[in-house]
């Protein structure tokens, strides 16, 4: 007698009738965006683009609803992974994880060396902004700052939905995008290097090679251009409340007024920063 074939498992229902409505969360992490798109900066847009290419059915829209309703209980962005707890319709919350491949120390050393050779990148990063061409720095050393596909960004959730991303993962991703808006250094942390370590590495390499002197005339077209929205003092980027302390954190800029050796540009800016601080 031939063996009986096991009936295939029923796919997880899009309508979720057996699970009822989601359980409301008190003091959950809610998205700041209340309507429309989530994610304002180009770097959060790059991150969400990977998610949107994988979107199944209406899960992304439901994930956005979850994010705005505060269904995410906790969320942590660590090197190599984002881990979160999401409350669904069951009593026990789900564990959601978004992974990423971290860069090896040798790769980060190459990136830091590239940053150290250009004062513009160092100053922008110290100011809490990500230059528009930051991806080019990583590409020049053979790296991609943002995930290029699903293999580089594995996702899993303890919910019964087979689809990836499910609405719980989508909710987490939208909140991560807002975190990236607030603090672009979290992208680099996710890739394996936190802000303090990255800036310390840049300073060490600038001390070794010495700052490249760039005449102001050569960077005048971008010198007064803000790389993005300015962070709030003492906010998520962790900038010092004293404006003058920002100059103390900054490596030598290597910028002179006439192309010759001259006083450190930080000292020329210090009186202005004191006035801003006042």
Which of 81, 62, 69 has its CA nearest to residue 28?
Answer: 69
Tens digit of each residue's pLDDT, the chain (278 residues):
444 343 343 344 444 444 568 999 999 999 999 888 898 888 898 889 888 887 666 888 999 999 999 999 999 999 999 999 999 999 999 999 999 999 999 999 999 998 888 777 777 776 667 777 888 899 999 999 988 877 888 999 999 988 888 999 999 999 999 999 998 889 999 999 998 898 888 888 876 655 444 555 555 566 566 555 554 544 444 444 456 666 666 666 655 555 556 666 777 777 877 777 76
Question: Is the omega angle on the peptide bond into residue 154 within 30 degrees of 0, that is, cis?
Answer: no
Give the pTM: 0.69
Q: How far apart are CA 6 and CA 159, in angstroms?
A: 23
Q: Are 217 and 259 in contact (CB under 8 A)?
A: yes
Q: What is the dihedral of CA 245, 249, 254, 258, to 10 degrees?
A: 0
């Amino acid at each position: 007698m031939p063996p009986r074939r096991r009936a295939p498992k029923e796919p997880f229902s899009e309508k979720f009738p057996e699970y009822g409505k989601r359980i409301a969360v008190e003091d959950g992490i809610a998205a700041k965006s209340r309507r429309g798109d989530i994610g304002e900066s180009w770097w959060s847009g790059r991150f969400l683009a990977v998610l949107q290419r994988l979107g199944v059915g209406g899960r992304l829209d439901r994930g956005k609803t979850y994010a705005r309703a505060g269904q995410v209980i906790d969320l942590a962005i660590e090197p190599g992974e984002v881990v979160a707890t999401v409350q669904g319709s069951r009593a026990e919350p789900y564990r959601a994880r978004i992974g990423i491949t971290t860069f090896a120390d040798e790769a980060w050393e190459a990136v830091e060396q590239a940053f150290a050779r250009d004062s513009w990148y160092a100053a922008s990063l110290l100011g809490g902004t990500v230059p528009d061409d930051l991806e080019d720095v990583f590409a020049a050393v053979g790296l991609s700052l943002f995930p290029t596909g699903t293999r580089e960004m594995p996702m899993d959730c303890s919910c019964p939905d087979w689809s990836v991303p499910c609405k719980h993962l989508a909710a987490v991703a939208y909140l991560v995008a807002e975190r990236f808006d607030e603090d672009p250094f979290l992208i680099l942390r996710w890739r394996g290097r936190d802000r303090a370590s990255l800036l310390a590495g840049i300073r060490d390499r600038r001390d070794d090679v010495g700052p490249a002197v760039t005449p102001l005339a050569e960077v005048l077209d971008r010198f007064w251009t803000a790389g993005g929205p300015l962070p709030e003092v003492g906010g998520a980027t962790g900038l010092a409340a004293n404006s003058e302390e920002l100059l103390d954190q900054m490596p030598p800029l290597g910028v002179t007024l006439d192309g010759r050796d001259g006083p450190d540009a930080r000292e020329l800016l210090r009186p202005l920063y004191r006035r801003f601080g006042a």
